[in-house]
């Protein structure tokens, strides 16, 4: 078992199985069904590995696999911090 997504514990086997099951052709789609790239690391760990897996399975060049759009905040922020709530860290 090879863990690819360390935020959601998604393995290489699950990624390959999902690509085949739903005929997935883009990383934007894979991300939505497995949550890969949407965890605390925001894809920093898993996305390059997934691109390499997808490129192998789909027979595409890694350059032809679109990288999912990053979402703010770039790093996790406590909800209380948005309103200057000092109790947020207690």
> Can you give the binding site for another protein, defined by CB under 8 A?
8, 21-23, 25-26, 28-29, 32-33, 35, 38-40, 42, 71-73, 76-80, 82-83, 85, 87-90
- Separation between Cα atoms, residue 74 and residue 63, nearest integer Å: 24
Q: Which of 2, 21 has the CB closer to another protein?
A: 21
Q: With helix as H, strand as E and coil as C, how does 44-76 read?
A: CCCHHHHHHHHHHHHCCCHHHCCCCCCCCCCCC
3-state secondary structure of 17: helix
Q: How far is the CB of 56 from another protein (least distance, A)?
A: 20
Q: How far is the CB of 47 from another protein (least distance, A)?
A: 14
């Amino acid at each position: 078992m090879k863990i690819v997504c360390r935020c959601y514990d998604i393995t290489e086997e699950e990624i390959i199985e999902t690509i085949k099951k739903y005929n997935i052709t883009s990383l934007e789609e894979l991300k939505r069904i497995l949550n890969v790239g949407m965890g605390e690391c925001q894809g920093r760990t898993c996305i390059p590995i997934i691109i390499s897996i997808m490129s192998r399975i789909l027979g595409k060049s890694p350059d032809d696999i679109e990288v999912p759009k990053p979402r703010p905040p770039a790093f996790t922020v406590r909800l209380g911090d948005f309103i200057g709530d000092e109790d947020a860290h207690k």
